[in-house]
Amino acid sequence: MVDDLCVLGIETSCDETGVALYHGRQGLLAEALHSQVELHAAYGGVVPEIASRDHVRRVLPLVQQVMAQAGVTARDIHGVAYTAGPGLIGALLVGAAIGRSLAFGWNVPAVAVHHMEGHLLAPLLEQDPPSFPLLALLVSGGHTLLIDVAGVGRYRILGESLDDAVGEAFDKTAKLLGLGYPGGPALAALAEQGSPTRFTFPRPMTDRPGLDFSFSGLKTCAITTLQRAENSPQTRADIAYSFQEAVVDTLAIKCRRALRETGRRCLIVAGGVGANRALRERLQEVAAQEGCRVHYPRPAFCTDNGAMIALVGWLRLRAGIHEPLSIKATARWPVDSLSACDEYCSTAQAR
């Protein structure tokens, strides 16, 4: 029975080692995450070689941990899903090599999962999941994508960032405000103390048609504002507020436009920046005004995790999609080149 499939998921594309077990009937059985934030903090950003080495240390103990937590043995696992890209190639290779080897040793199929498909489908892990077709806003450290989603694997990119991804813009702006790495959550916290009226930043590319984004100018705007004003804690909080407000407003304008253009009635928001409270609140308002529903994963499943990889592995495995005896790891991989799993589009079937 395909519904009884149990899949182990391994995520190692960047600076988090995530491992989880997903079961078709019982849902998420167990998940564990190790964040490398402390290792990279001293360098102000992710150091790829340090990331790869730490994944080597962490993956197998985390696999043993989730198997013990779920009370399953290798015999209960029907497939191993690993993140095959996009991401840091050395980091990806660790999860890919270990995942493929476990699958080989256990004599089960391996599934090479696209990291952004993981983010995109993460809302399916929640109660009251979204149903297809829908519009997806993916906002992470490496990507800003507006995607028209007809079903699992049927993705049409409507808009993307022409320069910095949203998370990258948060991180770079946080750095120049003197905040640590990762900057997104720190900038969001500082923005809470900022004045809504002192500075107004532009809403890039909203005054012309289209759904692409550009965020690098906002970082420049933050630098010049900081240079002109006196560099006090209040000024930095005011800049954080105006930066976040400009990002949130820009994303909201483009989501509203995309909902109207596609006629979709359901919006999902995922990826690390999807954990941002101001963004979640604003998109909730936009969706309500447009007569649509908005779905988010819980904040812990907005950022990188193994659960979303296990879920996608299960969805693809049950559609009969898996890898030959080769290790797949690719730093660049367009999300609109994936194969469709049409028959598994409906949410009822997905859970």
Task: Pick from 12, 17, 140, 161 the residue near Zn ion by CB under 5 A.
Answer: 140
Distance CA 351, CA 348 (A): 6
- Near Zn ion by CB under 5 A, which window of 172-180, 223-231, 301-309, 336-344? 301-309
- Near Zn ion by CB under 5 A, which window of 57-65, 134-142, 145-153, 288-296? 134-142
Q: Which residues contact 85 (CB under 8 A, 6 or more apart)?
A: 13, 92, 114, 115, 328, 329, 330, 331, 332, 333
Say whether residue 245 binds Zn ion (CB under 5 A): no
Closest contact distance (angstroms) between CB of 140 and Zn ion is: 4
Which CB sits closer to ligand KG4, 67 or 91?
Answer: 91
Task: Pick from 109, 204, 271, 313 the residue near ligand KG4 by CB under 6 A.
Answer: 271
Q: Is the dihedral of CA 330, 336, 338, 344 positive or negative?
A: positive
Task: Pick from 185, 204, 306, 313 the residue near ligand KG4 by CB under 6 A.
Answer: 185
Closest contact distance (angstroms) between CB of 60 and ligand KG4 is: 22
Say whether residue 275 binds ligand KG4 (CB under 6 A): yes
Residue matched to tokens 């909730």: 284
- Near ligand KG4 by CB under 6 A, which window of 66-74, 103-111, 181-189, 321-329? 181-189
Task: Pick from 241, 304, 318, 350 the residue near Zn ion by CB under 5 A.
Answer: 304
- Near ligand KG4 by CB under 6 A, which window of 74-82, 103-111, 136-144, 225-233? 136-144
State the binding partner of 170 from Zn ion, ligand KG4, none, CB within 5 to 8 A by kind: ligand KG4
Which CB sits closer to Zn ion, 165 or 259?
Answer: 165
Say whether residue 18 binds ligand KG4 (CB under 6 A): no
Closest contact distance (angstroms) between CB of 106 and ligand KG4 is: 28
Say whether residue 173 binds ligand KG4 (CB under 6 A): no
Residues that bind ligand KG4 in the complex, under the rule CB under 6 A: 14, 140-142, 167, 170-171, 182-185, 188, 271-273, 275-276, 303-304
